[in-house]
Copies of this chain bind each other. A is one copy, B any other.
Amino acid sequence: MASPSLSEFDLIRRYFRPAGPSGDPVADARVVLGVGDDAALLRPDAGHEVVVSTDTVVEGRHFFPDHPPESLGHKALAASLSDLAAMGAEPLGVLLSLAVPEAEDAWLTPFSEGFLRLARAMRAPLVGGDTVRGPCSAGVTVLGQVPAGRALQRSGARPADRVVVTGELGGAAIGLAAEIRRRDEGARPPDANDPVCKRLFWPQPRLAAGLALREHAHAAIDLSDGLLADLEHVCAASGCGARVDWPAVPLDPALAGADAALARDCALGGGDDYELLLAVPPEVELAPLAEAAGVALHVIGEFTAGDAIRVVDAAGAPLDARRPGHDHFAD
């Protein structure tokens, strides 16, 4: 039900200002001043650099108007925290710029619950933001910290480093395909608990993996544009090429029933999985790092000299699997 007289201040207080912003004493101790002044004040640990990234999702562009609001709150934050994970950073705080056509409780309550639940789980206190009436969009800015000079960057991969990914790939793409089909078939509302949409609706930022691998990997990126597109970003920044061994690419369980071509398109070209891709030198033992990261680590290929990116089958024969990544202005 719309509450048209709800003011901006009430709205922030009611939905986004719980008693304890993260409920985590360590995270909260770094927040000198949270929501409610002209700006927030954060106290990074001594000897640390500040990591900052911002991402905006827009209705009709990044999500359908009927996207389950609890998932949207979760996902908007997850996508930004994923950038911190890719730098090997731990969160200091997050800011939310929310535009909604009206202050509708039935939407704002689950949106804020999805957002704040993930914020608490990731020890990322909400420290600021703004709300405005407008076409629905959510801009999330995340701040984190890394010991000075230790951040993972895209530019450090070297030939002979292994191409390592966390978790499984292609789940968001197959979920999106299912969502598009559902919409084409009629007006059934989306189901936030649909298993095929699990990755699309509930991506997990790999912060623990970023921290566990920070001192061991040469480079990292998060998989938001798609495996090949993001691998290209790393290769371009690092001045090298890469070989991907298709049989080694871990497929999301939601791809189990899909035909081979679709599975490949989803796993190599689909965006929004928010796993990490890392360049890990050959001598690093992965098993203990996977344990610390709380997620599987898969070696799916190798960085190479030159600038070519090749995908090969079990026999080493090239697969034609190039697909451009997601680009908000190119389609």
Contacts and interface: CB of A to CB of B under 8 A. Distances in A.
A127 B141 CA distance: 13
A95 B137 contact: no
B8 A41 contact: no
Interface stretch (A30-38, A159-167, A283-291, A297-305): A30-38
Nearest to A143: B52
Nearest to A132: B328
A49 to B, nearest CB: 5
Interface in A37-96: 37-44, 46, 49-56, 58, 60-62, 83-84, 86-87, 89, 92-93, 95
A134 interface: yes
Contacts of A154: 36-38
Contact of A131 (B36, B153, B220, B328): B328
A132 B222 CA distance: 19
A9 B148 CA distance: 28
Contact of A148 (B5, B6, B43): B43
How many copies of this chain does one complex carry?
Answer: 2
Given A56-B139, A329-B133, A330-B7, A46 B49 contact: no
A141 B54 contact: yes
A99 interface: yes
A132 B87 CA distance: 23
A327 interface: yes
Contact of A134 (B86, B137, B148): B137
Interface of A: 5-11, 32-33, 36-44, 46, 49-56, 58, 60-62, 83-84, 86-87, 89, 92-93, 95, 97, 99, 103, 127-135, 137, 139, 141-144, 146, 148, 151, 153-155, 220-222, 237, 327-330
Given A42-B51, A54-B97, 4 more contacts: A38-B53, A38-B222, A54-B139, A61-B133
28 contacts: A32-B151, A36-B154, A36-B237, A38-B220, A38-B222, A39-B52, A39-B84, A39-B89, A40-B53, A42-B50, A42-B52, A44-B44, A44-B50, A50-B143, A54-B130, A54-B139, A54-B141, A56-B99, A56-B139, A58-B134, A62-B132, A95-B141, A99-B137, A131-B328, A132-B328, A132-B329, A133-B329, A143-B143
Q: Across chains A and B, which 7 residue pairs bring their CB atoms closest together, nearest first?
A: A39-B53, A58-B134, A38-B86, A38-B83, A56-B97, A42-B50, A135-B135
